Amino acid sequence: MILALFQPGDELTALFYLAAVIAFVLAAFASGVGKRAGGQTGLVAIGLALWLFPTMWQTMEAAF
């Protein structure tokens, strides 16, 4: 079943959390790099989305 994709001890879940941490670190050290609009804010948003996605997926699996 596709909803059983993200389990608490799953390798894919760990990769999503690692990618989120990398996005947060990049956002922390990206002060003025590129000077594009939304650079740091965009990285924080991506990090939050990556951090939330496995939890949201598990919640959807439990609900349905």
User: Per the domain annotation, does 4 fall within a domain?
Assistant: no
User: Per the domain annotation, does 31 fall within a domain?
Assistant: yes
Number of Cβ atoms within 10 Å of the Cβ of 43: 19
pTM (predicted TM-score): 0.73
As for how many domains the chain has, the answer is: 1
User: Per the domain annotation, does 62 fall within a domain?
Assistant: no
User: Per the domain annotation, does 61 fall within a domain?
Assistant: no
Task: Give 36's contacts (C-beta < 8 A, 6+ positions apart).
Answer: none
User: Per the domain annotation, does 56 fall within a domain?
Assistant: no
User: Per the domain annotation, does 35 fall within a domain?
Assistant: yes
Range of the domain at 24: 12-43
User: Per the domain annotation, does 16 fall within a domain?
Assistant: yes
pLDDT by residue (tens digit) across 2-57?
555 666 677 888 888 889 999 888 888 876 655 666 677 888 888 999 999 988 88
User: Per the domain annotation, does 30 fall within a domain?
Assistant: yes
| Beta carbons of 44 and 27 less than 8 angstroms apart | yes
